């Protein structure tokens, strides 16, 4: 039987970084053995090592580092002779840029600065820019003086048209414009890569990593699937909005760019597959039609994540565990503050957090200082990476999640599968998994989080009942095989539909010739 191929695009996750999205990606490629995967992984920096052992059906991993490369081709086109790259460089001059690139660039910038632009039309400019970069060098083009001139002229013009009444601190400086141009250069870098001919493309976020999918769709009509874990545009809006060192103009520019890319992917997608119902509200806000949306919940293996007795090292004291990278989105600070409140009620309680400490070193240091300030050194432990995630939850009596944003977190359903009830913040799809099987509380509220923890730790019967029911819910709704089968069904349906359409076109053409 002919094997089918999938362009699988990741952003800051698989196979270079751990976490929930990477867990999902690893499950998918390992269980869809009847598909060949070509992974295009957008990363922050080059020279990253695999965190996962890749199965045989992963035929290629192409890393696309957005930052840290002096010459983009060095880390993207590792198999292409330098002579070919050199020819691309020598072909770039002001005349070529002015004649071949600037007209496309102007249209793209106009779409970017217009919140009501047509995403499908803008997808055409993405495709045309990719075609240009397949012949001409990316860096040399963006370094061109005419590109900078047109960028300044058009962006400032459109910005003032859209914002007639600006206060002095909202007017962009030269630094703001330079910063915006740098963002454009780095975030559009996936347009520089060669895009393979595949049967289907799967963008694992509606973000910049999905640009090759746009190219495949425009060039070959390749069926496109988008999965939303956390809604990319929403999370960018939250993250950028909270940045204190960015000007009004810079924030607006970066948010516009993020939302435009999301809208393009949603518009071109044949199916949008959020991991929870919560995400569908945001997808519809960004223009996704109801008929395109199909929720596919994450799944776990209940034979791997199963109840076991507490190990000896935690058996003698009440234990709360968490699996979370130490970063602002996980709001570990709220968890630390909650542990101080819990300790007042249960003096010998222990909180153990397993997760990378290097995701955001500044934030990790901030958390360590807070632990020291509240004198929690013997109560709250940042234990770092755990090599066997299935053992984490059984170390505790309960688990906790304090995030301010989530999709459908594996940590919740993994803990449920281990019959350890969860106290979690009401974000993303948490309530869809946990309501009736754990305790859901407001985010950024240490007191509410602490009350949930105390309630479960003090009530053995409630803890046992919720734990048992939580595992039953996982067996009924959140198993790996159920999740993977739904993705397989969508893949096969879209690929077959495209093949049928192609056969129809061939038949019509043959009939016309006769």
Question: Would residue 305 count as lying in a domain?
Answer: no
The residue from 229, 262, 292 where one domain ends is 292
Rounded CA gap, 10 and 20, in Å? 13
CATH of the domain at 371: 3.40.50.2000
Q: What is the pLDDT of residues 200-219, one digit of tens each?
A: 999 999 999 999 999 999 99
- Residues 355 and 261 placed together within one structural domain of the fold: no
Question: Would residue 488 count as lying in a domain?
Answer: no
Q: Is the pLDDT of residue 277 over 70?
A: yes
113-117, 389-393, 460-464: which has the minimum mean pLDDT? 113-117
Could you tell me the end-to-end alpha-carbon distance of the chain, in angstroms, rounded to an integer? 32
Domain residues for the domain of 155 are 4-292
pLDDT, residue 18, reads 86
Percent above pLDDT 70 for the chain: 96
Q: Is the pLDDT of residue 508 over 80?
A: no
- Residues 213 and 75 placed together within one structural domain of the fold: yes
Q: Quick one: which H or E segment has residue 350?
A: strand 350-354
Q: What is the pLDDT of residues 315-336, one digit of tens each?
A: 999 999 999 999 999 999 999 9
pLDDT, residue 1, reads 59
The residues facing 200 across adjacent strands are 6
Location of structure tokens 């058009």: 154
pLDDT band for position 500 (cuts 50, 70, 90): confident
Number of domains in the chain: 2
- Residues 201 and 326 placed together within one structural domain of the fold: no
Q: Is the pLDDT of residue 507 over 50?
A: no
- Residues 243 and 379 placed together within one structural domain of the fold: no
8 Å CB contact between 255 and 236? yes
pLDDT band for position 235 (cuts 50, 70, 90): confident
For residue 380, the SS3 value is strand
pLDDT band for position 501 (cuts 50, 70, 90): confident
Tokens of 275: 């991991």
pLDDT band for position 503 (cuts 50, 70, 90): low
- Residues 287 and 426 placed together within one structural domain of the fold: no
The residue from 244, 259, 292 where one domain ends is 292
pLDDT band for position 400 (cuts 50, 70, 90): very high
Q: Helices in 64-191 by DSSP H: which ranges?
A: 72-76, 82-90, 94-96, 102-112, 119-133, 138-142, 145-162, 174-187
Average pLDDT over residues 410-435: 97
Question: Would residue 505 count as lying in a domain?
Answer: no
- Residues 370 and 251 placed together within one structural domain of the fold: no
Alpha carbon 76 to chain centroid, angstroms? 21
Rounded CA gap, 489 and 487, in Å? 5
Average pLDDT over residues 380-404: 95
Q: Helices in 299-388 by DSSP H: which ranges?
A: 312-315, 332-345, 361-373
Question: Would residue 83 count as lying in a domain?
Answer: yes
Q: Is the pLDDT of residue 239 over 70?
A: yes
pLDDT band for position 505 (cuts 50, 70, 90): low
pLDDT band for position 34 (cuts 50, 70, 90): very high
Rounded CA gap, 303 and 188, in Å? 42
- Residues 349 and 413 placed together within one structural domain of the fold: yes
Question: Would residue 482 count as lying in a domain?
Answer: no
Question: Would residue 500 count as lying in a domain?
Answer: no
436: left (phi over 0), alpha (psi -120 to 50) or beta: left
Q: Burial-class residue 95 by CB neighbours within 10 Å (0-12, 13-18, 19+).
A: exposed
Q: Quick one: which H or E segment has residue 253?
A: helix 248-268
The residue from 292, 322, 351 where one domain ends is 292
Q: What is the pLDDT of residues 447-464, one digit of tens each?
A: 999 999 999 999 999 999
Q: What is the pLDDT of residues 86-112, one digit of tens each?
A: 888 899 999 999 999 999 999 999 999
CATH of the domain at 43: 3.40.50
Burial 343-356 (b: 16+ CB within 10 A, else e): beebeebbbbbbbb
- Residues 260 and 326 placed together within one structural domain of the fold: no
Q: What is the pLDDT of residues 57-92, one digit of tens each?
A: 999 999 999 998 887 766 676 667 777 778 888 999
Average pLDDT over residues 18-25: 92
- Residues 53 and 97 placed together within one structural domain of the fold: yes
Question: Would residue 15 count as lying in a domain?
Answer: yes
pLDDT, residue 367, reads 98
pLDDT, residue 506, reads 44
Tokens of 303: 């034979």
Average pLDDT over residues 341-365: 96
8 Å CB contact between 33 and 6? no
Q: Burial-class residue 456 by CB neighbours within 10 Å (0-12, 13-18, 19+).
A: buried
| Cis-peptide into 5, omega within 30 deg | no
Average pLDDT over residues 331-351: 98
- Residues 64 and 199 placed together within one structural domain of the fold: yes
Cα torsion angle, 59, 64, 70, 72, sign = positive
Question: Would residue 190 count as lying in a domain?
Answer: yes
Q: What is the pLDDT of residues 142-199, one digit of tens each?
A: 999 999 999 998 888 877 877 777 777 788 899 999 999 999 999 999 999 999 999 9
Rg (CA), the chain: 25
pLDDT band for position 514 (cuts 50, 70, 90): very low
Q: Helices in 383-479 by DSSP H: which ranges?
A: 389-392, 410-417, 430-434, 446-458, 460-477
- Residues 352 and 266 placed together within one structural domain of the fold: no
- Residues 473 and 425 placed together within one structural domain of the fold: yes
Tokens of 349: 């309680």
pLDDT, residue 160, reads 80
Q: Which of 310, 312, 313 is nearest to 418 (CA)?
A: 310
């Amino acid at each position: 039987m002919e094997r089918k191929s999938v362009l699988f695009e990741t952003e800051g996750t698989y196979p270079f970084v751990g976490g929930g999205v990477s867990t999902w990606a690893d499950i998918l490629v390992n269980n869809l053995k009847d598909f060949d995967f070509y992974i295009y992984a957008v990363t922050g920096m080059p020279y990253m090592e695999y965190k996962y052992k890749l199965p045989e059906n992963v035929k290629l991993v192409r890393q696309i580092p957005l930052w840290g490369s002096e010459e983009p081709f060095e880390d993207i086109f590792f198999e292409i002779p330098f002579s070919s790259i050199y020819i691309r460089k020598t072909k770039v001059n002001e005349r070529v840029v002015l004649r071949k690139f600037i007209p496309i660039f102007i249209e793209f910038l106009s779409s970017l600065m217009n919140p009501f632009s047509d995403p499908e039309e803008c997808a055409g400019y993405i495709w045309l820019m990719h075609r240009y970069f397949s012949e001409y060098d990316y860096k040399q083009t963006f370094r061109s003086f005419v590109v900078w001139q047109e960028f300044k002229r058009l962006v400032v013009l459109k910005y003032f048209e859209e914002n007639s009444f600006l206060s002095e601190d909202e007017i962009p400086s030269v630094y703001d414009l330079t910063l915006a141009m740098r963002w454009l250069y780095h975030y559009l870098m996936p347009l520089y890569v060669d895009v393979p001919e595949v049967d289907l493309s799967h963008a694992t976020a509606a973000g910049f990593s999905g640009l090759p999918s746009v190219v495949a769709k425009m060039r070959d009509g390749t069926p496109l699937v988008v999965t939303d874990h956390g809604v990319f545009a929403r999370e960018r809006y939250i993250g950028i909005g909270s940045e204190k060192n960015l000007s009004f103009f810079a924030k607006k520019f970066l948010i516009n760019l993020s939302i435009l890319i999301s809208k393009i992917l949603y518009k071109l997608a044949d199916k949008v597959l959020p991991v929870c119902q919560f995400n569908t509200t945001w997808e519809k806000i960004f223009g996704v039609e109801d008929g395109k949306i199909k929720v596919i919940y994450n799944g776990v293996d209940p034979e791997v994540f199963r109840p076991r007795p507490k190990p000896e090292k935690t058996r003698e004291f009440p234990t709360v565990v968490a699996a979370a990278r130490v970063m602002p989105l996980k709001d570990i600070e709220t968890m630390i503050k909650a542990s101080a409140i819990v300790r007042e009620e249960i003096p010998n309680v222990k909180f153990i957090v397993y997760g990378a400490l290097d995701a955001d070193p500044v934030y990790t240091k901030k958390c360590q200082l807070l632990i020291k300030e509240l004198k929690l050194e013997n109560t709250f432990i940042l234990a770092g990476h755990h090599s066997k995630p299935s053992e984490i939850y059984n170390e505790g009596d309960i688990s906790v999640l304090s995030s301010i944003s989530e999709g459908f977190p594996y940590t919740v359903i993994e803990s449920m599968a281990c019959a350890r009830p969860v106290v979690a913040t009401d974000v993303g799809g948490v309530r869809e998994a946990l309501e009736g099987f754990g305790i859901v509380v407001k985010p950024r509220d240490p007191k509410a989080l602490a009350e949930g923890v105390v309630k479960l730790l003090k009530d053995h019967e409630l803890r046992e009942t919720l734990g048992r029911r939580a595992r039953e819910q996982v067996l009924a709704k959140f198993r790996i095989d159920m999740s993977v089968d739904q993705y397989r069904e969508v893949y096969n349906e879209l690929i077959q539909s495209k093949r049928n359409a192609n056969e129809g076109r061939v038949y019509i053409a043959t009939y016309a010739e006769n």
